[in-house]
Every structure is written in C-alpha cells, then in structure tokens.
Structure 1
Amino acid sequence: MIDVATGSGVAAWVVLLLAVAGAGLGALTGRTLARAGYRIESDEAGAPPRHWWWPAVELALLWALVGWRFGDFAGWAALPPYLLFAWLAVGLVWIDADVHRLPDGLVLPAYPALLVLVVIATAGLGDWSALVRALACLAGMYALYFVLAFVSPSSLGFGDVKLSGLIGLLLGWIGVGQAVVGLLAAFVVGGLIAVVMLVGQRVGLRSHIAFGPSMIAGAFVALVFEYHVLA
C-alpha cells in the first residue's frame, strides 16, 4: 500500500525560509545554466534555454518539500544531503533536457559528497543499519539500470546508470520501500512524458527522450509517498 509520507513536523517558518533560500540559489543557478557553459562539441542541440527563472521556482519548491519531509530529523543531520541533491537535480534536469547528457562533472563528485553527508546523517540518527540499507540500494539500483542500459542502450544511457546510484543511496537511507517507489515512479513519469510529447508532436516514435528528469521526478515522488507491505 502507498500512503502520503509523514512530515517531520518542523515549523512552517523553517519551510518558508528554505523555499526563499532555494529561490535565491535557484535564480543564480538558472542564470549560470542559461549561459550554456556545460555544452561540449559533441552535443547536438539548438539554441540554449533562456528561461533562467524556472530553476528558482523549482528549487524553491524542492527545498520546501525537503524541509517538510526531513526538517530536524536526526538532529537536522538528514537535511543537508537532500538539499544538495535537490540543487543538483535542478542542474541535471536542465542539462539533460537540453543536450540529453548527464555530465560526469556533476554526477561523479556528488557520490563522495552525498556519501559523507549520509554518513553524518546516520550518525545523527544513531542507526547504522540505515547506512547499510542505503549502500545496498545504491548497488541494487545501479546494477538494475546497468542491465537495462545494456539491454536497451537506445532508451537509457550510462549517465542514467550513474545517476541511479545517487538516487538509490538517498532513497534507500529512508527505506527500501522508498527506493522501490522511486524506481517505479521514474518509469511512470517517463511514460507520461513520452505520451504527452508524442501527442503534442514534439517527438516521433523513434526519438530519444531524456530519462534523467523522469528519474529525478520519481525520486521526489518517493519522498512524498511511502510504500508499506501489507501482511
């Protein structure tokens, strides 16, 4: 059974403060992304996106969501890794939607950074089984996406595989159920996006659609909803 997650009960002003801070950082991030400095010679893309303001809206919403979900959980130690991932998500969604690539320069450094923050969060929680579960979900999701990319390289790239490990780490720290919801939600969101783009004639049946944004959307869906096994 899937239910709406229980928030941390943090004060509303904390959530609002995080939203404002997210909007400010998102605006700076959007202006940087609008310069398209991430593009490389092999990228095939048209004019770069110029709507620098939407990362501000997105990050404001994501930081508010993360604040509501975690707040002072584990002595506030659980908040930083999810705030960092939310900021990373904004950049990855923009870049993948533009050039269909998830840059190693963003994804790979996130592994040690998020791992350190998750270890700190685990220490604050005082339950080291959460770290073991997180690492197991990292490995499991990475392996699954690796197999899927090997079987269907036209649908998933290796950038998606590398991103899957980060998602597995963060969702697995909360629970295996969250990792399952995030995995399933990614494919549901991806399917819905494909249908909308096909109906709107934005793509054809053989067009490649960036899957990174769907994976990220699925991860945040898993922060809102929880999966419970019924006995």
Structure 2
Amino acid sequence: MNASLPAVLAVSAAAVCGAAAGAVLPRAAYRLSVEPEEPWRTACPAGHPLGRGLRGLLGPGRCRACPAGYAAYGPNPAAVSATTALLCAAVALVVGARPELAAWLLLVPLGVLMALVDGAVHRLPDVLTLPAAAGTVALLGVAALLPGAAPGTSWTRALLGAAALTAFYFVLFVVNPAGMGFGDVKLAVVVGAALGWYGWPVLLAGAFTGLLLGAVYGVGLVLLRRADRRTAVPFGPFMLAGALIGVCLGASAA
C-alpha cells in the first residue's frame, strides 16, 4: 500500500490540476476560434469586453455583464473541466510519479484547447502550437536529467522523433495543402517529441493511430452525406488522440 501511495497522489493531483485547467479553457477557446486573418475575439457575443491579460484570456465561458440569455459562450465549462481532469488522471495513472509526467500534464490541457479550436474553425494557431512544442521539448529535457524517468526513454530520440514526424507531415502538406494545414505540421513537433520519448515503435503506432482515426472520421462523414471528398477535416484532434494513446502505450510498456 505504501509503494502505491506516490501513484495515488500523482493521479489525484493530476485530476485536480486537470479540472482547474479545464475550467479556464472555454474563454480561450472562444477567443481563439476565429477564421484566418481575423483578430482574436476581445468581447463576448453581446459586445462586453472580456478583459486584458490572462484574466481576459483564461476563464469560464460566462459573461457577468450579460443578461441571462447571453451569459454563456464557447464550449461547456463543466464538460471541458471534466474531460481534462479525466485525461490528466488517466495519463498519471499509466505514467506514475515519473519526471516526464510534468510534460504530459502541460500537454493535456493545451491539447484539449487545441482540439476545441481546431474542431471549431479548422485552425491550429501559433499561440498554441509553438508554446506546446517548446514546453514539451524543454520539460522532457529536464525529465531526462532527473532520476526516475521511465526505462528506455530518451530526450535525443524525442528530438529526432519530432523532426521525423514534422518532416512527414510537411510532405503531406506540400502534396495536399487543401487537406493538411500548416498548423498540423507544427503540431507534429509536439506529437513526434512525445511519442519519440518512448521509442520508435511508439512513434509509429501513435502517428498511425492519428492518421487512422482521421481517415475513419472523414469516411464516416462521407458515408453519412455530411461531407464529400474535398471537405476539409480538422486533423489536429486526431493527431492529439494518437499521441495520447501512444504515450499511454509507451508508458505502460516501460
């Protein structure tokens, strides 16, 4: 029982952190879910300013200045909070109290936010993908220097994985820019580093899973006659889902 105490504490802390992070994502998702070339939203749908700095960027999707009919905007705060908490707890349960857990607990809320934005407007803004890439690489670098990292993990391989997957997605973007956005190429840095940390087989499995999930979703839309072959599909959520599955597989096997 004593041996499992750190893991229990890690899962509990991860769930609390995930719930807190998820509770403040709806405002950011609302502000960033705009079409290309449009400025980030600075007011609620009724025109009331959302504020400046972090307070204006992060928070629940509610406006106190609005009447009841316009009080809510963006994704449901309770659903986002619960989802983020569940994902953080699941990752902590599989990874355990290891140094790399800090990187995953940063990436999960950012991943949820990126999935919300990409799902809404088919866009992965630099303000999300670049910090996610830098934070993941930096935290994995720190984890590699600390004792207790999962056996077989490698920061060098994480960097190589990021480079390899980014190159692969860049080729896809060049071949079919209408079906693959450049934001997906930047997100590949994050996904490649996270998967490469655990090994090349994990990288291949996670990357393939993301591609497969995206393909199944696209085919499903076509079969349901809600899209055709030329309809753009937000691919970021599926890349992130593949990364999550790959990280869990890699951590459980380590």
Q: If you compute each CA radius of gyration, which structure gives the higher value, 1 or 2?
A: 2
Secondary structure of the 1:174 match is coil
AA at the equivalent of 2:31? A
1:154 to 171, 178, 191: 178
Deviations 1:32-67 (A, max 9, x none): 42x334425646xxx974433332122112101221
1:20 to 12, 16, 30: 16
Secondary structure of the 2:154 match is helix
Number of residue-to-residue matches in the alignment: 213
Against the structure 1 CA distance between its residues 143 and 71, is the aligned structure 2 distance closer, same or farther, given a 3 Å change threshold? same
Unaligned runs of 5+ in 2: 39-44, 46-72
- Contact map agreement 2:25 2:113 (CA 8 A) in 1: yes
CA distance in 1, matches of 2:87, 2:231: 29
- Structure-to-structure mapping, 1:26-105, within 5 angstroms: 26-33=22-29, 35-40=30-35, 42=37, 49-73=74-98, 77-105=99-127
| CA deviation after TM superposition for structure 1 residue 87, in Å | 1.1
Against the structure 1 CA distance between its residues 188 and 129, is the aligned structure 2 distance closer, same or farther, given a 3 Å change threshold? closer
- Contact map agreement 2:198 2:250 (CA 8 A) in 1: no
| CA deviation after TM superposition for structure 1 residue 16, in Å | 3.2
- Contact map agreement 2:91 2:248 (CA 8 A) in 1: no
| CA deviation after TM superposition for structure 1 residue 71, in Å | 2.0
- Contact map agreement 2:95 2:248 (CA 8 A) in 1: no
Deviations 1:168-190 (A, max 9, x none): 11111111111111110011111
Q: Could you tell me the TM-score, scaled by structure 1's length? A: 0.82
| CA deviation after TM superposition for structure 1 residue 29, in Å | 1.0
CA distance in 2, matches of 1:220, 1:128: 18
Question: Is residue 225 from structure 1 mapped to residue 246 from structure 2 by the alignment?
Answer: no
**Greater RCO (CA < 8 Å, at least 6 residues apart):** 1
Aligned-pair identity (%): 32
| CA deviation after TM superposition for structure 1 residue 129, in Å | 7.4
- Contact map agreement 1:30 1:56 (CA 8 A) in 2: no
1:140 to 134, 155, 164: 164
AA at the equivalent of 2:113? G
Against the structure 1 CA distance between its residues 216 and 119, is the aligned structure 2 distance closer, same or farther, given a 3 Å change threshold? same
AA at the equivalent of 1:28? V
AA at the equivalent of 1:90? V
Deviations 1:108-130 (A, max 9, x none): 12233222211110001478971
- Contact map agreement 1:30 1:54 (CA 8 A) in 2: no
CA distance in 2, matches of 1:184, 1:9: 35
- Structure-to-structure mapping, 1:118-197, within 5 angstroms: 118-125=140-147, 130-197=154-221
Question: Is residue 201 from structure 1 mapped to residue 225 from structure 2 by the alignment?
Answer: yes
Secondary structure of the 2:24 match is helix
| CA deviation after TM superposition for structure 1 residue 11, in Å | 3.1
